[in-house]
Amino acid sequence: MIDKQNLFDYNEESIRSLDWREHIRLRPGMYIGKLGDGSSSDDGIYVLLKEVIDNCIDEYTMGYGKSIDIVIENKQVTVRDYGRGIPLGKVVDVVSKINTGAKYDSKAFQKSVGLNGVGTKAVNALCSYFKVTSIRDKKEKTAEFERGALSKEYKEAKTAEPNGTEVSFVPDEKIFKNFHFVHEYLDNQLWNYCYLNAGLVINLNGKKYLSKNGLLDLLQRKTNQEDIRYPIILLKGDDIEVALTHENQYGEEYYSFVNGQYTTQGGTHLAAFREALVKTVREFFKKDYDAADIRGSICAAISVRVQEPVFESQTKTKLGSQFVAEGGQSMRNFVGDFITKELDNYLHRNPETADAMKKRIEQSEKERKELSGIRKLANERAKKANLHNKKLRDCRYHLNDEPAGKDKEKILEKQRESSIFITEGDSASGSITKARNVETQAVFSLRGKPLNCFGLTKKVVYENEEFNLLQHALNIEDSYEHLRYNNIIIATDADVDGMHIRLLLMTFFLQFFPDLVKNGHVYILETPLFRVRNKQETIYCYDENEKNAAVKKLGAKPEITRFKGLGEISPDEFARFIGPDIRLQPVMIMPETHIQHLLEYYMGKNTSERQEFIIDNLKVELDLVAN
């Protein structure tokens, strides 16, 4: 029987004080967002790198150092800038004492990313090894740490090296389990730094990153020149830069930045831009176009620099600042006045671009009107289908719920973890439903194979019941910005039918919602193919090599099970594969990839070129099996 008196005792012994290291390690999500293994672009290991690079960028912005060298090898990261270097007497304090740093001095760092003094301290606390060296005026000072605790402090020494700061760290595998760096994510991260700091050179393992034209280069990389409707418009002003064009694809695609920080969730600056764009276009063409038609198929980037920015969380993914500076102009007016003046002037000076923009807007208007009746019927069908009872097992936390109260950071952390598994059939969805975390994991069950929607118009999304219900579950029928789950996970069997369903779903997203893929929301769930066990140990294996290694380890003819489908994996076992050790393969599209050409090749008519590709790769697979 439970002793209620002891259970609810609240006295002096109930009060506990944590030092800064313990607090960061106990609640890492508050400081770096979700942890993850590196398979998602917003996983913590990339935030650790960002926090270190941000300090280098602040030096460059202030006019010190023109290059940054980065080496990533054997899970150790080393970042070297050529700025002023940390004052030697404060090297230890700057990386190990909360609320210590130069960014509180507005003269030293006028428009820094953040002023909370946590950045490198969080990196220090969350790494098994952390080393910092500062070089100033032919002298250097070095200190080493283990999980935030000072392990060795070196005396000042003479050096011939140029001024600057070097930081080396190894993320703690107790926190970042089975982590790995995905090159494509690093590539995008470093290119963004260069686009926002034209002239800065970043070297990663010998590869050079350099942008001369800022956001113009960004949009040229993010769009395919065959798809844009008019040349990219580039607008520059004091502390603001904007680039935009319209494409042929569906949706709206934005890249927004504040003081060099990529605000993946936008904020007040992006909201002001979207509003100002609609207002300016309406006034220029003297026509009250629908806002959705003006912004449909747009690809745009905006970068602003403000004093002492306020973000909605420690991870700085959404700007909350209402003003560009204390006592200064509102963010809405600052961005709005700039767009109203500069975009209007540009369209007057470039009538061919203005005409192309008008034709794209009117095309979106025509498509929307054609779909309006179909959408109304589709919405009614979705309600009658009783989505939340028959198709969707929902979770508690969603991406766009408004966090409130003292647990705001905890709620934001849960929202970043929010996921929806798209499964095939009742058997697989039943296992996942029983094994899932009901707070952050939802399950959507498909019925049969989806339609191959390549080359079809968006009309099919509303007429096809499965696609219609899926977009309602994701809450993207009106706009991608209302997406309910941060992670969309395709969970199909590892057989021919499962692979086919996977391709059909990927075609659906790339055809109608490519921004979901481009912004890193779509993943493939990896589940084990084999279970190898004896009476003492069970090993789950994801490929033949792992299976062979497990057989060798266990010896004496262990029992080997080949999972033919997700439904064969029990809920107890499934909990292992969708928990903290979940393996996700991101669906990534490189900036230079032409989506329509890609889909045409794989999902279009069965051309001789594709047949040759299949035959050639089948030969390779057979050779591998034979050897």
The Cα–Cα gap between 444 and 451 comes to 17
Question: What pLDDT was estimated at residue 104?
Answer: 42
Higher per-residue pLDDT: 419 or 597: 419
Q: Which amino acid is at 111?
A: K
- Are 263 and 183 contained in the same domain? no
Confidence of residue 620 (pLDDT cuts 50, 70, 90): very low
Question: What pLDDT was estimated at residue 389?
Answer: 57
Quote the longest CA-to-CA distance of the chain.
82
CB 458 within 8 A of CB 433: no
Q: For the residues 36-56, what does the mean pLDDT come to?
A: 88
pLDDT digits (tens, 9 = 90+) for 343-386: 999 999 999 999 999 999 999 999 888 888 787 787 777 776 66
- Are 315 and 267 contained in the same domain? yes
- Are 202 and 317 contained in the same domain? no
The enclosing domain of 206 has a CATH number of 3.30.565.10
Q: Is the pLDDT of residue 528 over 60?
A: yes
Q: Is the pLDDT of residue 432 over 80?
A: yes
- Are 392 and 356 contained in the same domain? no
- For the chain, the residue count is 627
Confidence of residue 165 (pLDDT cuts 50, 70, 90): very high
Question: What pLDDT was estimated at residue 10?
Answer: 52
Identify which of 251-255, 440-444, 582-586 has the greatest average pLDDT: 440-444
Q: Is the pLDDT of residue 12 over 60?
A: no
Identify which of 125-134, 444-453, 575-584, 597-606 has the greatest average pLDDT: 125-134
pLDDT digits (tens, 9 = 90+) for 309-327: 887 766 677 888 888 876 7
- Are 36 and 113 contained in the same domain? yes
CB 587 within 8 A of CB 506: yes
- Are 221 and 197 contained in the same domain? no
The Cα–Cα gap between 193 and 261 comes to 8
- Are 253 and 221 contained in the same domain? yes
Identify which of 105-109, 240-244, 306-310, 447-451 has the greatest average pLDDT: 240-244
DSSP H stretches of helix in 513-570: 514-518, 544-554
The Cα–Cα gap between 174 and 147 comes to 11
CB 64 within 8 A of CB 83: yes
Confidence of residue 276 (pLDDT cuts 50, 70, 90): very high
With respect to residue 573, please indicate whether it lies within any of the assigned structural domains: yes
Identify which of 103-112, 127-136, 261-270 has the greatest average pLDDT: 127-136
Question: What pLDDT was estimated at residue 600?
Answer: 81
- Are 485 and 570 contained in the same domain? yes
Q: For the residues 424-447, what does the mean pLDDT come to?
A: 86
The Cα–Cα gap between 297 and 293 comes to 9
* DSSP of 136-197: ETTEEEEEEEETTEEEEEPPPEE--SPSEEEEEEEE-TTTSTT----HHHHHHHHHHHHHHS
Q: How many domains does the chain have?
A: 4
The Cα–Cα gap between 615 and 606 comes to 13
With respect to residue 600, please indicate whether it lies within any of the assigned structural domains: no
User: Phi and psi dihedrals of 436, rounded to 5?
Assistant: -70, 165
Identify which of 5-9, 306-310, 470-474, 620-624 has the greatest average pLDDT: 470-474
User: Tokens standing for 161?
Assistant: 């090296």
With respect to residue 410, please indicate whether it lies within any of the assigned structural domains: yes
CB 400 within 8 A of CB 378: no
The enclosing domain of 342 has a CATH number of 3.30.230.10
Q: What percent of the chain has pLDDT over 70?
A: 89
For 202, the domain range is 21-210
Q: Is the pLDDT of residue 622 over 50?
A: no
Q: For the residues 493-503, what does the mean pLDDT come to?
A: 85
- Are 127 and 43 contained in the same domain? yes
pLDDT digits (tens, 9 = 90+) for 174-184: 898 889 999 98
- Are 250 and 125 contained in the same domain? no
With respect to residue 206, please indicate whether it lies within any of the assigned structural domains: yes
Q: Is the pLDDT of residue 168 over 90?
A: yes
The Cα–Cα gap between 47 and 544 comes to 34
The enclosing domain of 522 has a CATH number of 3.40.50.670
Mean pLDDT of the chain: 85
Q: Is the pLDDT of residue 70 over 80?
A: yes
Question: What pLDDT was estimated at residue 203?
Answer: 96
Question: What pLDDT was estimated at residue 111?
Answer: 56
pLDDT digits (tens, 9 = 90+) for 184-193: 899 989 999 9
Cα 517 from chain centroid (whole Å): 10
First to last CA, the chain: 63
The Cα–Cα gap between 306 and 353 comes to 31
Q: Which of 210, 243, 276 is the last residue of a domain?
A: 210
With respect to residue 377, please indicate whether it lies within any of the assigned structural domains: no
pTM of the predicted structure, to 2 decimals = 0.77
pLDDT digits (tens, 9 = 90+) for 251-275: 888 999 998 888 888 889 999 999 9
Confidence of residue 83 (pLDDT cuts 50, 70, 90): very high
Q: Is the pLDDT of residue 56 over 50?
A: yes
Q: Is the pLDDT of residue 67 over 60?
A: yes
With respect to residue 609, please indicate whether it lies within any of the assigned structural domains: no
- Are 136 and 236 contained in the same domain? no
Question: What pLDDT was estimated at residue 131?
Answer: 96
pLDDT digits (tens, 9 = 90+) for 204-229: 999 999 999 999 999 998 888 788 99
pLDDT digits (tens, 9 = 90+) for 557-571: 899 988 877 777 888
Q: Which of 513, 546, 562 is the last residue of a domain?
A: 562
Q: Which of 334, 368, 402 is the last residue of a domain?
A: 368
Q: Is the pLDDT of residue 103 over 90?
A: no
With respect to residue 616, please indicate whether it lies within any of the assigned structural domains: no
With respect to residue 587, please indicate whether it lies within any of the assigned structural domains: yes
Confidence of residue 118 (pLDDT cuts 50, 70, 90): low
- Are 27 and 174 contained in the same domain? yes
Question: What pLDDT was estimated at residue 6?
Answer: 52
